[in-house]
Structure 1
Amino acid sequence: MAGLGPSGRAPDAYTVLGVEPTASAGRITSAYRGLVRTLHPDADPSHAPAGERFREVVAAYTILRDPALRAAYDDARLAAGRRAGARPVTVRPHPAHAPRHDEPVLWAGPTRWSAG
């Protein structure tokens, strides 16, 4: 995930998006889109602290949108819950799917215009 929470642990992806662990893929996408609309730096440039929260939302969605990553994340959450006092395991996306720091997080491709 993007950063560590106040307790020194990575924030829970489901908590970041505000959904239950049993939420459907559609509900996760809906929650993500709503948060991105409100937290995106272009939505309110004067609200600078939203940048870190925005990165957490993108990182959480990166994990939960992919069924294989979500399954691994859920398994890690369950295993961490069974061990007393254990820190939760952070599942990171494959580097090919992770946003790079030198590129914008959200990118819209070329738009095609048709005459008429």
Structure 2
Amino acid sequence: MPTQDTYSLTCAFAKKFALRLRSLRESRGLTQEKVAELAGMNTNTYQKYERGILDEDKPANPRLSSLLSIASAFEMDVSELLVVEYDSSVTGRATPAGQNLAPAWTGQHRDGVTTI
């Protein structure tokens, strides 16, 4: 069972990832249906990722194959797709001024942006 800290991070990431998907889609003038078609997935599934929620308020947690398909639909590398802003305050841990904390997942944290 994930800890509350991990659950909070997962929820925060799912929300930010959802905003990233919507932004990418809108900037390309695509509909949710078209992105789902290009990614080879059900429209409902893509819509859940874009909302950041799967079922009963559980955060969206796409499989690697889904992430690769979505990245392909947007004609980008999966590492570019996963660049989201990350707010370390969701962890509930104190951060000394001027010090960057790495998030609970592995990745790089620079200037308020975390890549995983």
TM-score between the two structures when normalised by the length of structure 2: 0.27
Which structure has the greater CA radius of gyration?
1
TM-score between the two structures when normalised by the length of structure 1: 0.27
